[in-house]
């Protein structure tokens, strides 16, 4: 299984913390945030990290890096990995934490799986339209 970390975000809402670090590379408990989930993910497959060309700190992670030339969204970030994906894959936003237990549950799921959470305030999150257990639409950070 390939595990794709999306680490191309600019982190505008986290300034000034992101003036010198990419959002996923902000130190938490002594190491870059992304590494907490990355270490767990390596137990389940090969890691790919999608990032922008200018995010030098992410490129120094020591993982296989795939460059997204322009920030054109999640689907585009996944598409730049198409030559690396030959079977099942898991996509994780690099600014989200997933425990080993979380990843175990996801990888044991038969079929497709999306991990989401509910929030009353949707301005900072995507909104997912689900009908009968099927995702019909994803609207990124609606106004």
pLDDT (tens digit per residue) in 89-136:
999 999 889 999 999 998 888 877 777 777 777 777 778 888 887 788
Q: Give me the pLDDT at residue 50, please.
A: 95
Long-range contacts of 22-31 (CB under 8 A, 24+ apart): 22/51, 22/55, 22/57, 22/58, 23/94, 23/95, 24/58, 24/94, 24/95, 25/57, 25/58
DSSP 8-state assignment for residue 101: H
Q: For residue 28, is pLDDT > 80?
A: yes
Tokens of 110: 């038969």
- Whole-structure pTM over 0.95, yes or no? no
Q: Is the pLDDT of residue 2 over 80?
A: yes
**pLDDT at residue 16 greater than cutoff 90:** no
Higher pLDDT, 13 or 69: 69
Q: Write out the E strands in the chain.
A: 2-6, 27-28, 31-32, 46-51, 64-67, 89-93, 127-131, 134-139
**Which of 46, 44, 112, 52 shows the shortest CA–CA distance to 84?**
46
Q: Is the pLDDT of residue 3 over 90?
A: yes
């Amino acid at each position: 299984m390939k595990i794709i970390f999306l680490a191309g975000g600019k982190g505008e809402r986290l300034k000034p913390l992101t003036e010198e670090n990419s959002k996923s590379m902000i130190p938490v408990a002594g190491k870059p945030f992304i590494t907490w989930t990355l270490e767990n993910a390596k137990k389940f497959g090969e890691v790919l990290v999608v990032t922008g060309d200018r995010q030098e700190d992410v490129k120094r992670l020591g993982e296989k890096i795939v460059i997204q030339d322009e920030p054109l969204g999640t689907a585009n970030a996944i598409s730049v990995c198409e030559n690396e994906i030959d079977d099942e894959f898991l996509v994780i936003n690099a600014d989200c934490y997933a425990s080993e237990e979380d990843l175990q549950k996801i990888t044991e799921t038969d079929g497709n799986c999306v991990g989401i959470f509910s929030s009353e305030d949707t301005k900072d999150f995507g909104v997912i339209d689900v009908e009968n257990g099927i995702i019909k639409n994803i609207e990124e950070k609606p106004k």
